[in-house]
Amino acid sequence: MKSFIRNLNMKAQLNYPLLWRKTRMGVRMRLLVWYFFLTACTVMVSLQVTRQIYCDSLKAKADASIIKEIERFKLMSGKYTYTTPQLLDKFLANYAPIRNEYVVTLLNDQVYLTKPELPRDIKEKLPQLIHSWRQEGEFERGKVYVAPSRIRYAGQSVTANDKKGTVIAINDSSADYQAGTSAIVLVMQVTIVVLVIFFIVAWVTTGKVLYPLRLVTETAHSISESDMTLRIPVQGSDEIAELTTTLNEMLDRLQFAFDSQQKFLNDVSHELRTPITIIQGHLEMLEFCPEKQPETMALVMDELDRMNRLVNDLLLLAKTERPDFLKLKPEELDWLTEEIFLKARSFANRNWKLESKGLSPITVDRQRLTQAVMNLVQNAVRHTTLHDTITLGSSVKGDFAYIWVSDTGEGIAPENQKRIFDRFARATKHDQNFEGHGLGLSIVNAIAVAHGGKVELSSSVGYGSTFTIVIPLVASNDATLEQDANRRRPFVKTGLFTL
């Protein structure tokens, strides 16, 4: 035992990290982490694409503007006959500056005039730019050149009177790029804050959504062999509610099976204890009274027969709760009633009467239904005398068939009628004079319930009792079936009237 407990402790220690990881990264955390990760990736990709579109837009706008000015200068140089300085002055006079755009004019590769005044960073880079322009030679028409620090430019040169004039349109989008980048950084910061707030809200919301799952776990842990009554409350109508309903239905089936098993075991232990005690006592006395061996063996065999009947009855009651207990087939109610009546008359010498026969096909298990009615007949015989009357009959009302056994015996007291169908229940003192265990009416009720019906009781002390089995009909055509039944029914003469 100690080694077994030690092995359990070792297994628990080995499984503890795994359980801790499962607890730490449960469904709730995994869902939110993955959702947060996918949302963050989506936002980052969206911001990157937005920034790229913004940069491309700035480039396209800058290129279009500087190309427009260069084309305007070329058009002016071909239209007017000015000297090179006059042409440059005329161009600058007609130039309307726009944001982040500058025009630099060169006369014989030397800075002539600029408009507007160049900012400090471009002034510092201007000698380097002029040097690169000289190395490149002539500017290509319609081409935009790129310099470091987001500077884009295009140029056009003309020569008049041995003087070379050059116009260079410069666009510096550094400020716009910086503003766009700052805006995207701000958006990113706000997005992170919003995602954190969303994560907190989602954590609380997900906890409420997954609360039924935690209830499932807690309920499963709290269910034991002796208590299976706990159920999970159903909230809403979503998939989790459907899962909760399914689990509750499963628990109902498990509890029903558990209760049936416990009831069967309790019944067996209760009823078998007496015959076993009797057998044991007589076998122990047999050692001291060997001359009573024949009587003892007869008594033991009788008790064993009673135990066998008891076990068979209990097994039958247990089988009634199984879905394959019945073997349903279409039967004619009038023929079935006649057959049961003929069998019942052989039970005892009573005044037997067949009151009526229902005219309708029914779908039943013929053997089980006959067994139920015969149990009612046997019960009527036990509670009647030689001169009493026992009446059988059947009828159809609406969608139900009624089969009854009525007697003029002693009747059942009202306080006993509520428990008459319980197992091992005995309603009258006369029951003690007959062999049996009080399971007959329980079997009748179980067979009726298995057919989807019930058993009704009407009884008055001193006037007798009437037990009625009520079972539903399956598809029937009253007119046709009644005609067929009249054609096939045999004539039976009974104590009440001729059928």
Question: What are the residue boundaries of the structural domains of the chain, listed by start?
Answer: 22-209, 239-319, 329-488
Kind of pairing, strands 389-397 and 454-460? unpaired
| Tokens found for residue 464 | 């007798």
DSSP string over 354-365: E-----SEEEE-
Residue found by looking up tokens 């009909």 in the block:
473
Cβ neighbours of residue 383 under 8 Å, at least 6 residues apart? 407, 409, 410, 428, 430, 465
pLDDT band at 267, cuts 50/70/90? low
pLDDT band at 499, cuts 50/70/90? very low
C-alpha to C-alpha distance for 84 and 166, rounded to whole angstroms: 9
pLDDT in tens, 216-244: 777 777 776 666 777 777 777 777 778 87
pLDDT band at 388, cuts 50/70/90? very high
| Tokens found for residue 327 | 């073997």
CATH among 3.40.50.11890, 3.30.565.10, 3.90.1150.10, 3.40.47.10 for 329-488: 3.30.565.10
- Please tell us whether the domain made up of 239-319 is placed in CATH 1.10.287.130: yes
According to the per-residue pLDDT averaged within each range, which of 268-277, 320-329, 400-409, 412-421 is highest?
A: 400-409
According to the per-residue pLDDT averaged within each range, which of 131-145, 193-207, 276-290, 381-395 is highest?
A: 381-395
pLDDT in tens, 43-71: 889 988 998 998 899 899 989 998 998 88
pLDDT band at 404, cuts 50/70/90? very high
Burial label, 401 (beta-carbon count in 10 A; 0-12, 13-18, 19+): buried
| Tokens found for residue 261 | 């098993």
Helix (H, G, I), strand (E, B) or coil at 351: strand
| Tokens found for residue 197 | 């707030």
- Is residue 320 scored above 50 in pLDDT? yes
C-alpha to C-alpha distance for 47 and 195, rounded to whole angstroms: 15
C-alpha to C-alpha distance for 19 and 30, rounded to whole angstroms: 15
Predicted local confidence at residue 355, as pLDDT: 93
- Is residue 455 scored above 90 in pLDDT? yes
Q: Write phi, then psi, for 224 (nearest 5 degrees).
A: -130, 180
Shared fold status for 239-319 and 329-488: no
C-alpha to C-alpha distance for 494 and 113, rounded to whole angstroms: 137
* Residue 67 identity: I
Write down the pTM of the prediction: 0.46
Q: Write phi, then psi, for 254 (nearest 5 degrees).
A: -65, -40
C-alpha to C-alpha distance for 169 and 156, rounded to whole angstroms: 9
* Residue 370 identity: T
- Is residue 377 within 8 Å of 390, Cβ to Cβ? yes
Say how many CA atoms lie within 13 Å of 221 toward its Cβ. 5
SS3 content of the chain, % helix, strand, coil (to 5): 60, 15, 25
Helix (H, G, I), strand (E, B) or coil at 320: coil
C-alpha to C-alpha distance for 470 and 449, rounded to whole angstroms: 9
Cβ neighbours of residue 357 under 8 Å, at least 6 residues apart? 333, 334, 337, 338, 393, 394, 395, 489, 499
| Tokens found for residue 461 | 């002390």
- Is residue 496 scored above 80 in pLDDT? no
Helix and strand numbers, DSSP H then E, in the chain: 13, 12
